[in-house]
Chains A and B, each alone.
Chain A
Amino acid sequence: MIITKEEEMMLNGERGEGVQKAMEIIVALGKIYGAKNLIKIESAHISGVSYKNLGDEGLEFLEEIANTGVKVSVKTTLNPAGIDLDFWETLGFKRDFAEKQIKIIKAYEKMGVKTTCTCTPYLTENKPKLGKHVAWGESSAIIYVNSVLGARTNRESGISALASAITGRTANYGLHLDENRLADYKINVKCEVKGISDFGALGYLIGKKIGNKIPYIIGVKSASLDELKALGAAMAASGAIGLFHIEGITPETNMKKMIKENAEEIEITSLKEAYETLNSDVKDIDLVSIGCPHTSINEITEIARLIRGRKIKTELWITTSRYLYNEAKKLGLIDVINEAGGKVIRDTCIIVAPIEDLGFKTLATNSGKMALLAPLHSKVKVRFGNLNQCIKAALEGEWIDN
């Protein structure tokens, strides 16, 4: 691997101990994946933020590296934490957990990371442009950036994204290279796909069928950005997919042929299998949860429209970023939701928060990703359906099949 003079200085410790460690990580990953050189990145997004996942080991590591005085050198955003950083106490989170979580955020802050904790930084202050190189963690954000924005990142871990943020470099391999962005499978969708939950169901099926390969989807005629967000998130959770193409919809498909000559074709004729697998048979619902990935303004607007002037019977958590919360507040949407009994929660989500500590046993959601992961991470039983069904469950206190 060839590295520049400046990169060599970082590696030799001439830019400080923290930069040296970060560069050692980037170079080691480059060796492992056979990169020929390093490339400069425009931004980074760091996963590995919740104390629930990092534990004391991760906290100790982050405090130690922050104490070396090292700073990130490119725009860097942060994934959701395990709590709403302001309202954790009223939401019922434990003090010990909250204190450790706040220490983690402080360590990142010390390194110059923007601490808007969200899995959708591309809806706020970190939106990479077509063809640009970045180093991102968070599977749902990685796949959105690659597929919907057409920027380029590998599936980074929390530490490798941090190392890239510090050095401003990533190793040039994988999805950074043109030849590795071509689809391995043609997915021919022959059923109707409409709304957030349908796109999540489709993503779940594709991830299950093709694992870590790249799909080229045909037969989907239109999709909103929110639907693409749900599709990618589910696909990246059930498989390990970092990039998808939809013919005529995702940007790279309009520029050149993005599928391999020998791509195998798979037909999807129904989403029934996904809805059956992701649903349990519970009827009483404790919590209705919308916002995995974090909700956009359009989604918050739609929820407010559905519950305006009504009273809900379950808990309703809408998770979003601090940035969009403030926007929704200005539009009066937060008040509408609060008056109906719902909560709009910032900085965190159901997957990375310790919600098992809060006594929730059953949950309804329109997110394919959450329906797949919540039972594994938080030991709750899940109902998965479209937004109208979820809001109906919140109003009635129980799940009603369509």
Chain B
Amino acid sequence: MIIKGRIIKAGNVEGEALVSMEPIAFFGGVDPETGKIIERNHPLEGEIISGKILVFPHGKGSTVGTYILYRMKKKGTAPKAIINEECEPIIAVGTIISDIPCIDKVDIKKIKSGDKIRIEGDTIYVNE
């Protein structure tokens, strides 16, 4: 399957999808040291997002989340890329300052955790 999106931060990468239908708060919701989702009762609670193509509707919570993404990139615990339904400033600015490819305007229901994803420009290849 091929999905077209809108580039927020350009970059070409390949990896495995980890999908959340709930928004993610990087500040307080993710442990930057381990890359683990720590928000109580979040559908991905306990999952490691490091090295994954992280798929979720949009960010939420404090704008400090921007710096958490940056910290994760420096620590090597960041996701490989981010795919959003509607990107908002916390994630957009975070991916730009951290050089993490990011695409939005994507119907994320079409992607399942474990799918093999390849991102080239504004195009997402799913299990292709």
Contacts and interface: CB of A to CB of B under 8 A. Distances in A.
B123 interface: no
Given A57-B70, A157-B63, A21 B89 contact: no
A32 B88 contact: yes
B93 A160 contact: yes
B89 A160 contact: yes
A175 interface: no
Given A55-B67, A58-B67, A60-B74, A31 B93 contact: no
A259 interface: no
B87 interface: yes
A105 B83 CA distance: 35
Contacts of A158: 63
A28 interface: yes
Interface string B92-125: 1100110000000000000000000000000000
Nearest to A62: B67
Contacts of A160: 89, 93
A66 B70 CA distance: 16
B67 A157 contact: no
Contact of A57 (B68, B86, B89, B96): B68
Contacts, number: 56
Contact of B93 (A28, A54, A58): A28
B9 A24 contact: yes
Query: Could you tell me the dominant secondary structure of chain B's interface residues?
Result: helix
Nearest to B95: A28
A31 B89 CA distance: 11
A56 B71 CA distance: 9
Interface residues of B, number: 20
A180 interface: no
Query: Could you tell me the dominant secondary structure of chain A's interface residues?
Result: helix
Contacts of B86: 32
A277 interface: no
Contacts of A54: 67
A10 to B, nearest CB: 14
B6 interface: yes
B89 A61 contact: no
B93 A25 contact: yes
Contact of A61 (B9, B63, B70, B87): B70
Contacts of A29: 89, 92-93
Contacts of A56: 71
B28 to A, nearest CB: 12
A157 B89 contact: yes
B67 A61 contact: yes
A58 B68 CA distance: 9
A57 B71 contact: yes
Given A61-B97, A157-B93, A160-B93, A31 B6 contact: yes
A159 B67 CA distance: 10
A53 interface: yes
A21 B63 CA distance: 18
A55 B64 CA distance: 9
Chain A to chain B: the 5 pairs with minimum beta-carbon distance, closest first: A57-B67, A57-B71, A28-B92, A24-B96, A58-B67
30 contacts: A21-B96, A24-B9, A25-B92, A25-B97, A29-B92, A31-B6, A31-B8, A32-B8, A32-B88, A32-B89, A32-B92, A53-B64, A54-B67, A55-B67, A57-B64, A57-B67, A57-B68, A57-B70, A57-B71, A58-B64, A58-B67, A60-B74, A157-B66, A157-B93, A158-B63, A159-B66, A159-B93, A159-B97, A160-B89, A163-B93
Given A29-B92, A31-B8, 19 more contacts: A24-B96, A25-B92, A25-B97, A28-B92, A28-B93, A32-B8, A32-B86, A32-B88, A32-B92, A53-B64, A56-B71, A57-B32, A60-B70, A157-B63, A157-B89, A157-B93, A158-B63, A159-B93, A163-B93
Interface of B: 6, 8-9, 32, 63-64, 66-68, 70-71, 74, 86-89, 92-93, 96-97
